[in-house]
Structures are given as structure tokens and as C-alpha cells.
Amino acid sequence: MKNHIRDLRATRNMSQEELARVLEVSRQTVNAIENDKYDPMLPLAFKIAKVFGKTIEDIFQPDRQKK
């Protein structure tokens, strides 16, 4: 799963730490999601979408290379 969280965060001048605080997760979790190492569960994905005022589909796209 690919996502645009890093770009969205940069446009809002938010650090990973700040985003993590808003989402009530650890910075490690934000970092892992941004680097496509971890796909969040739906409640967290909705939270992320809400923080950036977008839909889940706007932020997360399936990785087409993976089967």
C-alpha cells in the first residue's frame, strides 16, 4: 500500500512527532506507515484521512506491483 502522508505532512509543516500526537500513536508508527512498512488498520486510516481533510482513497493507494 502506497500513501502520500509524508507529502501531506510536509505541506502542513507537521513533524512526525506532531502527527503522531494528533493520531495518538507513536512516532515509530507514523514513520513505518510513511515508509510503506506498515499498513494501518481502518480506524487509524480514517483518523489520518480526517487530520488531512481527505478520504482514505485520496491518501492510500494499493501497491500495483504486489499481487
Partner 1 sequence: MEQINTKTGARKSHRGLLSAVFFVLAYLAARIVLKQEEFDELVRVLAALLPVVPFAWMLWEFIKGIQGMDELKQRIQLEALVVAFPLTLILLMTLGLLEIAIKLPPEDLSYRHVWAMLPLFYYLGLAFAKRRY
C-alpha cell of residue 28: 515509530
**What is the smallest separation between the CB atom of 52 and partner 1, expressed in angstroms?**
19
**What is the smallest separation between the CB atom of 36 and partner 1, expressed in angstroms?**
11
C-alpha cell of residue 34: 510513511
The answer to whether 7 touches 64, Cβ cutoff 8 Å, is: no
The answer to whether 1 touches 36, Cβ cutoff 8 Å, is: yes
**What is the smallest separation between the CB atom of 20 and partner 1, expressed in angstroms?**
8
Which of 13, 37, 53, 66 lies at the binding interface for partner 1 (CB under 8 A)?
Answer: 37
- What are residue 2's DSSP bridge partners? 61
Q: Contact residues for partner 1 (CB under 8 A)?
A: 24-26, 28-29, 32-33, 37-38, 40-41, 44
